[in-house]
Structure 1
Amino acid sequence: MSAATETVRPAAPKGSGGVVQSVRDSLVIARRNLIRMTRIPEIVLFGLIQPVMFVVLFSYVFGGSVSVAGDTSPQVYREFLMAGIFAQTVTFATAGAGAGIADDMHKGLVDRFRSLPMSRGAVLTGRTLADLVQTALTVVVLVVVALLVGWRAHEGILKTLAAFALLLLLGYAFSWIGALIGLSVRTPEAATSGGLIWLFPVTFISNAFVDSSQMTPWLQHVADWNPFSATVQACRELFGNPGVVDSPAWPMQHPVWASLIWSVLIIVVFRTLAVRKYRDAAS
Structure 2
Amino acid sequence: MPRKLEVNVNNKEFIINALKDNKRLDGRSLLEARRLELEYGEGLGSVTVKLGESKVMCSVSCTVTSPLPERPYEGQMSISSELSAMAMAHYESGLRGNTAEEEATLNRQLDKAIRRSGMVDREALCIVGGEKVWSIALTLHYMADDGNLVDAGVTACTAALLHFRKPEATVVGGEVTYHPLDERTPVPLAINHTPISFTFAFLDTQDTQDTQGGGDIAVLDPNAIEAQLSDACFMVTTTPQKELLTLNKQGGKVLSVERVLECVGYATERAHTLAKQIHDSVNADLDRRRIGGIV
Work out whether the TM-score is over 0.5.
no
TM-score of the superposition, structure 1-length normalised?
Answer: 0.28
Task: Pick the structure with more strand per residue.
Answer: 2
Q: State which structure, 1 or 2, has the greater radius of gyration over its C-alpha atoms.
A: 1
Of Structure 1 and Structure 2, the greater helix share is in: 1
Structure-2-length-normalised TM-score: 0.27
